Structure 1
Amino acid sequence: MNKITIAIDGFSSTGKSTVAKQLAKHLGYVYVDTGAMYRSVAYYAMQNGLITKESFNVEALVDQLSNINITFKFNDALGFAEVYLNDVNIEKDIRTLEVSKFVSTVASVSAVRKKLVEQQQKMGENKGVVMDGRDIGTVVFPNAELKLFMVASAETRAKRRYQELIEKGDKVTYEAVLKNVEERDFLDTTRADSPLVKAEDAIEFDNSILNKEEQFEKLLDLVETKL
């Protein structure tokens, strides 16, 4: 059976990563979480004092991009690949609200996007890949056989994200999470370089009222149609 490229774009906390992992596992495809890659760069900037609430040293970050090595290593126990920054596992570190506050700002830097897009395109050279992010169907893989665009209301997404963080033991408020979701939506859709937009040939998928199982079954039907 011929392998295809599946590009999943959409707003934050729409469940892109969850369904991408499910599809990749079911199909035996490679899964790439591009959001984790941008989170890794944001985490690096935070750890090195390059970005704070008050300032962002863009030039210094660009100068240090060659020092940032992002890789994915499959964890058999978890059933998916975890992200490593310079050979250090930072999977849990990058999933915090603190990193979320800076990731869209860091992702708006053209040099950062250029570096990561090149890596992403190399990862998908041989097809058989499921990749999720903000510009996969428009920039990274404009010729992908299947493009999905995930949407859900800001309130629905904030509730999901809030529950995830609480279950991990993070001390956050729903109001803070909702504010972050809305701010990221604005930054992602208005940045000059590769803004979040639906590709003309993408299928819009609203999962506001679907659980994970229902979502997977509907999306798998779309995949099998393409296959």
Structure 2
Amino acid sequence: MTTKIQVAIDGPASAGKSTIAKIIATQLGYIYVDTGAMYRTITLAAIRANKITVGQTSADEQVISELLTNVEIGFAPSENGQLVFLNDTDVTEDIRQADVNSLVSLVAAIPAVRTDLVERQRQLAATSSVVMDGRDIGTMVLPNAQVKIFLVASVAERAQRRFAENQAKGLDTELTLEEIEASIARRDYLDSHREVSPLKQADDAVLVDTTGLSIEQVVTEITNLISKKIG
């Protein structure tokens, strides 16, 4: 039986995890699993069902968890990158809007949500070689992954990246750079202080600081690490 390879890439918001993971998965011929998009899709479903609204500082676990059985999350390739679907509806752009950005950490902290999505993610990793990125992949989702990376960058640089991305895609264009930086810093705090699966570096993960590095430089560094780990 061919060994299924698992590459776990964790790190805070806008550290470049998704961009890097997609490129590496393509180069290696692995499946890319966007766990962040999965949590965002659940959050969007909750918003559309009026189960959570912008400005809330906590989320009702029972109310949100009741949505899970009715939410199907799908991925599909396209010429412009991977598409994300909520019950067969394309929500690729919708899950990157300001309302989802402000609420996803609250939804992701709900134990029932994490339990449900972790199981979905493990099922994907059991059937294919994968590159999976998120907050707790190396610590909780795939603790036995052959390669674990913890990707970081300064808050200022991550805010610049998000601001430029939003401007290019026409997303959240009303937000200033300072507002985006404050939002990222707040999300860092929420993600690292939640009770269930907090954001932290796995003991056996390799720290990669992307501050000041190009995408190509980061991809090269990580693919070299993968080669050393698995040959």
TM-score by length of 1: 0.95
Letter in 2 for 1:53: V
Letter in 2 for 1:201: D
Using the alignment, how far apart are the partners of 2:61 and 2:4 within structure 1?
39
Give the structure 1 partner of residue 83 of structure 2: 82
Q: 1:2-81 counterparts in 2 under 5 A?
A: 2-55=3-56, 56-75=59-78, 77-78=79-80, 80-81=81-82
Alpha-carbon contact 1:104-1:187 (below 8 Å) kept: yes
Alpha-carbon contact 1:97-1:177 (below 8 Å) kept: no
SS in 1 for 2:82: strand
| Higher mean displacement: 163-172 or 204-213 | 163-172
Deviation at residue 143 of structure 1 after TM alignment: 0.4
Using the alignment, how far apart are the partners of 2:128 and 2:89 within structure 1?
28
Alpha-carbon contact 2:54-2:99 (below 8 Å) kept: no
Letter in 2 for 1:190: H
Give the structure 1 partner of residue 221 of structure 2: 218
Is residue 2:195 matched to residue 1:192?
A: yes
Letter in 2 for 1:198: Q
Alpha-carbon contact 2:46-2:67 (below 8 Å) kept: no
Deviations 1:115-170 (A, max 9, x none): 00000000000341000000100001000000000111111101100110011123
Letter in 2 for 1:211: S
Using the alignment, how far apart are the partners of 2:123 and 2:223 within structure 1?
25
2:181 corresponds to which of 151, 157, 178? 178
Using the alignment, how far apart are the partners of 2:54 and 2:220 within structure 1?
41
Deviations 1:183-226 (A, max 9, x none): 11001000000000100000000000101111111111111112
Alpha-carbon contact 1:149-1:198 (below 8 Å) kept: yes
Give the structure 1 partner of residue 210 of structure 2: 207
SS in 2 for 1:193: coil
Alignment RMSD:
1.3
Letter in 1 for 2:225: L
Q: 1:151 to 1:169 in 2, by over 3 A?
A: same
Give the structure 2 partner of residue 130 of structure 1: 131
Deviation at residue 178 of structure 1 after TM alignment: 0.6
Using the alignment, how far apart are the partners of 1:156 and 1:131 within structure 2?
23
SS in 2 for 1:124: helix
Give the structure 2 partner of residue 145 of structure 1: 146
Give the structure 2 partner of residue 156 of structure 1: 157
SS in 2 for 1:41: helix
SS in 2 for 1:91: coil
Q: How many residues align?
A: 225
Using the alignment, how far apart are the partners of 1:114 and 1:58 within structure 2?
12
Using the alignment, how far apart are the partners of 2:53 and 2:75 within structure 1?
27
Structure 1 segments unaligned to the other structure (5+ residues): none
